[in-house]
Structure 1
Amino acid sequence: MGLGGGRVRFNVGGQVFETTTTTLANAGRDSMLGALLDSSWNLAPTISGGGGGGGGGGVAEYFIDRNPACFAVLLDLLRTGSLHVPPQLPEKLLYREALYYGLLDHVRAARWGAFDGDRLLLAASVPGRAPGDGTAIRAAPDGGCCVAHGGAVHVYNWMLDERRPVSLDHSQVNDVAYLDEGTLLIAARERLGSMMEAWPCSPRFNEYGIGVWDRASGEQADFFYEPPGCALGDADKLQWLDATNALMVATLFPKTDNCFIGLLDFRQKNVVWSWSDAGTAASLDDKRVLHAIAMEDERSVCVINQYDDLGFLDFRSNAGGVRWSSRSKLMNRKVPGEESCYPKLSTHGGQLFSSMNDSISVFSGPECVLTSTLRRSNGGAICDFSIGGDRLFALHNEENVFDVWETPPPPII
Structure 2
Amino acid sequence: MRMQSDKVRLNVGGKIFETTATTLASARRDSMFGAMFDDEWNLRPREVNQEYFIDRDPDCFSVLLNLLRTGELYVPPHIPDRLFYREALYYGLLDHVRTAKICKFDCNWLKLKSSVSDQAPDDWTAVRASPDGGCAVAHGGVVRVYNWMLEEHPPLNLDYQCIKDIGWIDSENIVISSCQKTGGIGLFSSSTGDLRHRFKLNCENDEVKGFAAGVLCFNSDGKIFASCGETSNGGIGVWDQVTGKQTDYFNSSDGLCFADANKIQWLNGSNCLFVSNLFSWMENKKHISLLDFRDKSVVCSRISRCISVDRYYSPSYILDAIPMEESNSICVVNEYEKFGFVDLRNTSESVTWSSNSYGSVKPIDHPKLTLHGGQLFCSLYDKISVYYGGLDQWVLTSVLERSQAGSIRDFSIGGDRLFALRGEENVVDIWETPSSPII
TM-score, normalising length: structure 1: 0.83
Q: How does 1:1-400 map to 2 (within 5 A)?
A: 2-5=2-5, 7-13=7-13, 15-20=15-20, 23-24=23-24, 27=27, 31-34=31-34, 41-44=40-43, 46-49=45-48, 62-80=52-70, 81-85=72-76, 87=78, 89-167=79-157, 171-190=161-180, 196-198=212-214, 199-202=226-229, 207-258=233-284, 259-277=286-304, 285-295=314-324, 297=326, 299-315=328-344, 317-319=346-348, 321-325=350-354, 341-366=365-390, 367-400=393-426
Partner-residue secondary structure (3-state), 1:78:
helix
- Report the Cα distance in structure 2 between the residues aligned to 1:28 and 1:302, rounded to whole angstroms: 47
- Report the Cα distance in structure 1 between the residues aligned to 2:252 and 2:159, rounded to whole angstroms: 32
Q: Deviations over 1:145-187 (max 9, x none)?
A: 1221222222222222222223456632222222222332222
Q: Which 4+ runs in 1 deviate beyond 6 A?
A: 281-284
The 3 A distance-change label for structure 1 pair 93 and 277 is: closer
Partner-residue secondary structure (3-state), 2:244:
coil
- Identity value in percent: 49
The 3 A distance-change label for structure 1 pair 231 and 100 is: same
Partner-residue secondary structure (3-state), 1:97:
helix
The 3 A distance-change label for structure 1 pair 295 and 412 is: farther
Shift of 1:412: 3.5
Q: Deviations over 1:191-243 (max 9, x none)?
A: 99x9811422349x964321112333433221112331433233221111233
Unpaired stretches in structure 2, ≥5 consecutive residues:
183-209, 215-225
Shift of 1:298: 6.8
Q: Deviations over 1:285-305 (max 9, x none)?
A: 332222222226372222222
What's 2:199 paired with?
none
Shift of 1:190: 3.4
Shift of 1:343: 0.7
- Report the Cα distance in structure 1 between the residues aligned to 2:381 and 2:44, rounded to whole angstroms: 61
Report the structure number with the largest CA radius of gyration: 1
- Report the Cα distance in structure 2 between the residues aligned to 1:61 and 1:200, rounded to whole angstroms: 62
Q: Contact 1:304/1:343 (CA < 8 Å) preserved in 2? A: yes
What's 2:222 paired with?
none
Partner-residue secondary structure (3-state), 1:48:
coil
Partner-residue secondary structure (3-state), 1:398:
coil
- Report the Cα distance in structure 2 between the residues aligned to 1:35 and 1:320, rounded to whole angstroms: 66
Q: Contact 1:3/1:37 (CA < 8 Å) preserved in 2? A: yes
Shift of 1:344: 0.7
Task: Report 1 or 2 for greater relative contact order, CA contacts < 8 Å, sequence distance ≥ 6.
Answer: 1
Q: RMSD of the TM alignment (CA)?
A: 3.4
Q: Contact 2:277/2:288 (CA < 8 Å) preserved in 1? A: yes
Partner-residue secondary structure (3-state), 2:176:
strand
The 3 A distance-change label for structure 1 pair 279 and 370 is: closer
Unpaired stretches in structure 1, ≥5 consecutive residues:
50-58, 335-339
- Report the Cα distance in structure 2 between the residues aligned to 1:281 and 1:361, rounded to whole angstroms: 23
The 3 A distance-change label for structure 1 pair 364 and 25 is: farther
Q: Contact 2:31/2:93 (CA < 8 Å) preserved in 1? A: yes
Q: Contact 1:345/1:353 (CA < 8 Å) preserved in 2? A: yes
Q: Contact 1:253/1:289 (CA < 8 Å) preserved in 2? A: no
Which moved further from structure 2: 353-362 or 66-75? 66-75
- Report the Cα distance in structure 1 between the residues aligned to 2:277 and 2:113, rounded to whole angstroms: 35
TM-score, normalising length: structure 2: 0.78
The 3 A distance-change label for structure 1 pair 35 and 303 is: farther
- Report the Cα distance in structure 2 between the residues aligned to 1:412 and 1:364, rounded to whole angstroms: 29
